[in-house]
Amino acid sequence: MVDFGAQYAQLIARRVREAHVFSEIVPRSMPVAEMLAKRPKAIILSGGPASVHVEGAPTIDPAVFDSGIPVLGICYGAQLVAQLLGGEVHRTGGGEYGRTPLEVVGSSVLFADLPLQQQVWMSHGDSIVAAPAGFTVHATTPGTPVAALEHRERGIYGVQFHPEVMHTDRGQEILKAFLYDAAGCRPTWTNLSIIDQAVDEIRAQVGDERVICGLSGGVDSAVAAALVHKAVGNQLTCVFVDTGLMRAGEAVQVEDTFRNQFDVDLVHVKAADRFLDLLHEVEDPERKRKIIGETFIRVFEEAAADLGEARFLVQGTLYPDIVESGGGDNANIKSHHNVGGLPDDMKFELVEPLRNLFKDEVRAVGEELGLPEEIVWRQPFPGPGLAVRIIGAITPERVEILQAADAIVLEEIKRAGLLREIWQSFAVLPAVRTVGVMGDARTYAYPIILRAVTSDDAMTADWARLPYDVLEAISSRVINEVPGVNRVAYDITSKPPGTIEWE
């Protein structure tokens, strides 16, 4: 999929994979010869924000249309098909945005078994007003005379609408018709084939050398470790640094899953005292983060040194970390180092078995590998752990209060069946105390702040509209079951202006 700066670039790639066809996003600056060297079965030209009429508008070498590889242009991509092959694209003033009725015309590959009337999602200013010679028009809308076009012999297709968004009723079927019927792709990209391929690649990379993996308790490092273990068994040693700032029960669960169920060689470094000593009386959020980051690296390095020579380090880098969409040509690749923020100068070669996968694929692979649901569906958790949710000084007692309250929050969210809808839900312990009355006695104790947000990527977030009965269950359980807490408040701040975490 050639990215012309589409808002939906990653979504198109994901939809293709949901059709069980592997897809890769490439920048539009990539020479066509280089694209073809990847031996694609099909090429999709994405949408994008530009107009083909502006000076310097992004384009593609028309050689792509003579390559014999079937091409589908979507939105801007369709306009490029039209313009580069001799059709006409005009700024008609009749742009269409949102849900639009589509009328299918004639017999086409893309709409073969679909109804003649359907709803599609549009987002365009320019319109194709004339298809190039040799093309047939297969759909129109009230505002667009050429909403779909094709040249069956040359294998070139275009749709003005967005088949990848769910508001296009038959979008996935249209994409599948292109992939399977126009391009002859087979639906072979499945969880099992992903696992087989990853295992082969890991074995080829690692040979008989030793490998280390830092486990954070999160889904990415867990799935990466499980894949590497499947590939090279006991050549892998996992290191789990227990900072004492994890969620309740997390350390036990990591140990149980990896050591007992998977028989992984696991080093469980119990470093809670060391972290808490260093954090003693530290209140400044940035200093907390710095101390935790540095100590984490030191502890990990010490554990690695104790293990002797390992040449490889596993990282749970995901595909969205590798491809930065937006069509900015130089911004296309960025490197992320996300397992505990280990530094580049550690002398390891990286093994990144998830580098081609989206998060939902990682979860599916995790389930296929038999990882427990609690790990596979775990919510994101910040590297510095509960330290950034304990406002002010961190003491063992305050960690215990927060862990207990946090566990109740998660239990109630799960009980309400909301776990997979909610991006993160957790408790925050502020540095103030409030007055209350319990029994007949006055209390002076901590409040707990409940934070629950919905989000797609943590860049923006909204506070979750939790049902009142869930709020009530959390509030009464926290106050009744957690000593030292006498009040629960709900944070109703979106991001921006707030952040998800409190520090």
Return the number of the residue (257 or 425) whose C-beta is nearest ligand XMP: 425
> Closest distance between ligand XMP and the C-beta of residue 181, in Å?
41
Distances in Å between the Cα of 253 and the Cα atoms of 95, 448, 489 are 54, 25, 29
95-129 CB burial, b ≥16 within 10 A, e <16 = ebeeebebebeeebbbbeebeeebebbbbbebbbe
Contact criterion met (CB below 8 Å) for 391 and 503: yes
* Span interacting with ligand XMP, options 7-15, 253-261, 363-371, 378-386, rule CB under 6 A: 378-386
Select 74 or 399, whichever has its Cβ closest to ligand XMP.
399
Indicate the DSSP class of residue 262: S
Residue 176, both tokens: 């599948």
- Amino acid letter at 264? V
Nearest-angstrom CA–CA distance, 70 and 156? 6
| Site membership for ligand XMP, residue 385 (CB under 6 A) | no
CB nearer to ligand XMP: give 412 or 503: 503
| Closest approach of ligand XMP to the CB of residue 415, in Å | 22
Please identify, using beta-carbon distances, which residue of 28 and 378 lies nearer to ligand XMP. 378
Is 383 a residue that touches ligand XMP (CB under 6 A)?
yes
Rounded-to-integer distance, Cα 297 and Cα 302, Å: 9
Selected binder of ligand XMP within 384, 394, 409, 475 (CB under 6 A): 384
Residue pair 425/410 in contact (Cβ under 8 Å)? The answer is yes
**Smallest distance from ligand XMP to CB 292, Å:** 8
Asked if 50 and 4 touch (Cβ cutoff 8 Å), the reply is yes
Return d(Cα 265, Cα 466) in angstroms, integer: 41
- Three-state secondary structure call for residue 125: coil
Residue 287 dihedral angles phi and psi, to the nearest 5°: -65, -40
To ligand XMP, the closest distance from the beta carbon of 88 in angstroms equals 46
Residues that contact ligand XMP, how many (by CB under 6 A): 10
Only one of the segments 49-57, 183-191, 235-243, 376-384 lies at the binding site for ligand XMP (rule: CB under 6 A); that segment is 376-384
| Interaxial angle between packed helices 359-368 and 191-206, expressed in degrees from 0 to 180 and rounded to the nearest 10 | 90
Toward ligand XMP, which CB reaches closer, 173 or 242? Answer: 242
Per CB under 6 A, which of residues 272..311 are in contact with ligand XMP? none
Contact 413, 422 (CB under 8 A): yes
Task: Report the amino acid identity of residue 50.
Answer: A
Among 101, 142, 328, 380, binds ligand XMP (CB under 6 A): 380
From the list 255, 265, 374, 501, which residue makes contact with ligand XMP (rule: CB under 6 A)? Answer: 501
How many other C-beta atoms lie within 10 A of the C-beta of residue 433? 15
- The nearest distance, CB 498 to ligand XMP, in angstroms, is 8
Question: Is 424 a binder of ligand XMP (CB under 6 A)?
Answer: yes
Where does 207-318 have alpha helices with state H? 219-232, 250-255, 272-278, 285-306
Task: Collapse the DSSP code of 128 into the 3-class scheme (helix H, G, I; strand E, B; otherwise coil) and give the result.
Answer: strand
**Binding region for ligand XMP (CB under 6 A) out of 343-351, 468-476, 483-491, 492-500:** 492-500
- Among positions 82, 238, 449, 500, the unique one binding ligand XMP when judged by CB under 6 A: 500
Q: Which is nearer to ligand XMP, 307 or 458 (CB)?
A: 458
Phi, psi (deg, nearest 5) at residue 101 = -75, 135
DSSP label at 5? Answer: S
- Alpha carbon distance 245, 282 (integer Å): 15
Site for ligand XMP in 92-151 (CB under 6 A): none
The residue from 57, 269, 391, 458 that contacts ligand XMP (CB under 6 A) is: 458
**Between 129 and 422, CB nearer to ligand XMP:** 422
Catalytic positions, please? 75, 162, 164
396 binds ligand XMP (CB under 6 A): no
Give the residue with the Cβ less far from ligand XMP, 94 or 430.
430
Q: Is the separation of the CB atoms in 342 and 239 below 8 Å? A: no
Phi–psi pair at 349, nearest 5 degrees: -90, 140
495 binds ligand XMP (CB under 6 A): yes
Q: Is 422 in the site for ligand XMP (CB under 6 A)?
A: no
Judged by CB under 6 A, the stretch of 11-19, 272-280, 381-389, 440-448 that binds ligand XMP is 381-389
Closer Cβ to ligand XMP, 138 or 247, answer by number: 247
Question: Which 8-state DSSP code applies to residue 113?
Answer: T
- 214 near ligand XMP, rule: CB under 6 A: no
| Site string (216-255) toward ligand XMP, x via CB under 6 A | ----------------------------------------
Question: Which amino acid belongs to residue 350?
Answer: L
| Helix (DSSP H) and strand (DSSP E) numbers for the chain | 14, 21
Range in contact with ligand XMP (rule: CB under 6 A) among 30-38, 231-239, 393-401, 493-501 = 493-501
- Minimum separation from the CB atom of position 414 to ligand XMP (A): 18
Q: How far is the CB of 340 from ligand XMP (least distance, A)?
A: 8
Give 400 or 501: the residue with its C-beta nearer to ligand XMP: 501
CA distance 169 to 198: 34
HEC profile of 380-424: CCCCCHHHHHECCCCCHHHHHHHHHHHHHHHHHHHHCCCCCCCCE
Positions touching ligand XMP (CB under 6 A) are 380, 382-384, 424, 458, 495, 499-501
